[in-house]
């Protein structure tokens, strides 16, 4: 039997991501997950979302008012984010990243060929989000406080969990979710590679 503390954790393999057009129809994205604070309201707008954008040509990004976002270069030779206020940032290999407001008008300009980019978005009046890029060299222990959700996206390599977790091993591109619920959650991830680790927590009074 899987222990109760692990019952809200799962691994999503990369081949289960849903591929769809951008909101402005200028590109493609593979949606990993659209999360809500209230799981009982599946038709409500998402409060946070994970996806992988496929940028194949220079194009405008879709606007997301009220949303903050963080973009991480996964593969490719880089992309320049040119904002309409004159600000410009270049994301270079291996994994440069940038956090910005979703209502800002921005054009993505490829530096040298297509890129794939990890895209974390969250509704700023509902949740807070933090993202870290970490090497995975042997065991890593993840503690999730009550009410938080943690995510581990395996950029490269292989990973596995403690035998009592009930979770399958991860390959590059897979994503694991750890929803602490009302109890503190502990998971040990072991392996070799690179991870994006994300913490999602509700803004006070949002639930």
Q: What is the pLDDT of residue 180?
A: 87
Q: What is the pLDDT of residue 6?
A: 47
Q: What is the pLDDT of residue 103?
A: 96
Neighbouring residues of 49: CB distance < 8 A, sequence distance ≥ 6: 31, 33, 34, 35, 119, 120, 121, 122
Tell me the domains of the chain and their CATH numbers.
4-13+126-202 (2.60.120.10), 16-123 (2.60.120.10)
* pLDDT < 70 regions, the chain: 1-7, 40, 207
Q: What is the pLDDT of residue 164?
A: 77
How far apart are alpha carbons 2 and 164 in whole angstroms? 7
Neighbouring residues of 71: CB distance < 8 A, sequence distance ≥ 6: 53, 81, 91, 97, 98, 100, 117, 118, 119, 120
Q: Nearest-CA neighbor of 166 among 33, 9, 15?
A: 9
User: Tell me: the pLDDT tens digits for 80-127?
Assistant: 999 999 999 999 999 999 999 999 999 999 999 999 999 999 999 999
> Rounded to 5 degrees, what are φ and ψ at 153?
-105, 120
CB atoms within 10 A of CB 69: 20
Neighbouring residues of 133: CB distance < 8 A, sequence distance ≥ 6: 72, 95, 97, 155, 194, 195, 196, 197
How far apart are alpha carbons 122 and 106 in whole angstroms? 18
Q: What is the pLDDT of residue 1?
A: 31
- CA 114 to mean position of chain CA atoms: 20
């Amino acid at each position: 039997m899987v222990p109760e503390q692990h019952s809200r954790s799962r691994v999503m393999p990369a081949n289960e991501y849903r591929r769809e057009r951008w909101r402005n129809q200028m590109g493609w994205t593979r949606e990993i997950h659209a999360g809500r604070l209230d799981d009982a309201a599946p038709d409500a707008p998402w409060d946070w979302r994970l996806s992988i954008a496929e940028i194949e040509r220079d194009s405008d990004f879709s606007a997301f008012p009220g949303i903050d976002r963080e973009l991480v270069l996964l593969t490719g030779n880089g992309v320049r984010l040119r904002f309409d206020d004159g600000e410009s940032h270049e994301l270079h290999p291996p994994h440069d990243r940038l956090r910005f407001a979703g209502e800002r008008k921005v054009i993505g300009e490829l530096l040298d060929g297509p890129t794939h980019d990890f895209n974390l978005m969250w509704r700023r009046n509902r949740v807070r989000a933090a993202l870290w890029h970490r090497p995975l060299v042997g065991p890593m222990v993840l503690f999730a406080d009550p009410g938080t959700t943690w995510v581990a996206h395996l950029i490269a390599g292989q990973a596995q969990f403690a035998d009592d977790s009930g979770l399958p091993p991860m390959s590059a591109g897979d994503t694991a979710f750890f929803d602490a619920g009302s109890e503190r959650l502990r998971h040990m991830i072991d392996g070799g590679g690179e991870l994006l680790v994300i913490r999602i927590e509700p803004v006070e009074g949002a639930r």
